[in-house]
Amino acid sequence: MADKVGILTAGSDCPGLNASIRGFGKAARNTYGMELVGFRDGFRGLVDNRTLDLSGEALSNILTDGGTILGTSREIPQAMGKNGETLDLTDDAVNAYHAHNLDALVCIGGRETMEAALHLKRAGLNVLTLPKSADNDVPMTDTTIGFDTAKDIATEAIDRLHSTANSNHRIIIVELMGREVGWLTLGAGIAAGADVILIPEIPYDISKISKAILERNQAGKMFSIVAVAEGATSSELVAFFERSIKLDRKTHTGDLEDDMARKMEALKKKYGGQTLLLANRLEEATGLECRITILGYLLRGGAPSASDRVLATQLGTRAADLIAEDQFGFMVGYRHGGADCVPLEDVAGRQKKVPLDHSWIKSARHVGTILGD
């Protein structure tokens, strides 16, 4: 059984990280007698060998705290900045692991963390991961640490905007995180009764949205709430992407489908963030005033919800069980009603988008929500 284990939090912060550290750390220490080594600021701390003492009372009174006592960063060992260059510092990470005589390393993070952990596994380290993401975009888990809290915060924000939208007869556009997936916007939009929900998975038609808003006004509903993911894209822009890709086909080399997918993602990143344009076009089409509220990093702050605290504790304690059983190379996710381990190979490099036949989308349509298509 493992005697000494490292732990780090990587990627963007979100509520529930401290609850995860606590859940894993207390189970590892109290149940299995393991010694803990915390690495500061994600994989950067591992590479630079910067640690935080997790003995004594370090894990007390952090369950309800937002953020992470370990700090975090988005850097990964295989592509890390050093002296103005981007270098592969995997060997430094491996050396730090062995310098501390670690038996395992627990990495709490999102999609980039899953890829980095798989990379370290292939470099010979015993790793486990826990999925965190306010966007809920990590595959092979029903939900991620931080998603429930972000959804609650977004729902309350939209709730509060209803009164000012109604009082001033305006269109209020609320932009939420979600550059590539729409789970957060869809969930919060349904919960808060948004009239329009726009997500990256469903390209929207501005004329259909405008028509629906005008019909609401004619029916005596003098305001509309539009919940939009930051990566939502108009059908016109998608058509532009597709035309641009077709023009490049003559110079294509390699697998056509993969090449087209890469180019589509690059174009979306370059031309994404169309919320201001959306507001201007809705004003022109409807004659109604539009106001934009961007929630941004607000969704990552504050204390985790009860559900996130329970989830983080479940996944953290299960990770301790797996290490005690010498089981490595897994993500500990939530599936089938409980903590479940999934090989990192099945997670890394993948993304969980909202399926177009998902029950949330069906329910939204049934209650008359406009999805832009």
Task: Supply the CATH number for residue 313's domain.
Answer: 3.40.50.450
275 and 169 housed in the same domain: yes
Residue position matching structure tokens 């092979």: 140
What is the DSSP secondary-structure string of 135-178?
A: T---TTSS--BTHHHHHHHHHHHHHHHHHHHHHHT-EEEEEES-
Number of domains in the chain: 2
Taking 50 as the pLDDT cut, the residues of the chain under it are none
52 and 141 housed in the same domain: yes
| Per-residue pLDDT, 165 | 87
Residue position matching structure tokens 């997790």: 54
95 and 238 housed in the same domain: no
Asked whether residue 9 is assigned to any structural domain, the reply reads: yes
In DSSP terms, 132 is beta-bridged to 145
Asked whether residue 168 is assigned to any structural domain, the reply reads: yes
Q: Which domain holds residue 37?
A: 4-145+304-346
Task: Dump pLDDT digits (tens) for 233-282.
Answer: 887 776 666 666 666 555 555 555 566 566 666 655 555 558 888 999 99
244 and 263 housed in the same domain: yes
| Per-residue pLDDT, 164 | 87
30 and 105 housed in the same domain: yes
159 and 291 housed in the same domain: yes
95 and 129 housed in the same domain: yes
Catalytic residue among 13, 135, 148, 152: 135
| Per-residue pLDDT, 264 | 60
49 and 67 housed in the same domain: yes
CA distances from 162 to 127, 227, 309, 361 (A): 46, 12, 29, 22
Whether residue 135 lies in the annotated active site: yes
CA distances from 196 to 15, 153, 177, 193, 290 (A): 27, 18, 16, 9, 13
361 and 218 housed in the same domain: yes
174 and 190 housed in the same domain: yes
| Per-residue pLDDT, 274 | 81
What three-state secondary structure class fits 56? coil
Q: Check: pTM over 0.85? Answer yes or no.
A: yes
| Per-residue pLDDT, 251 | 55
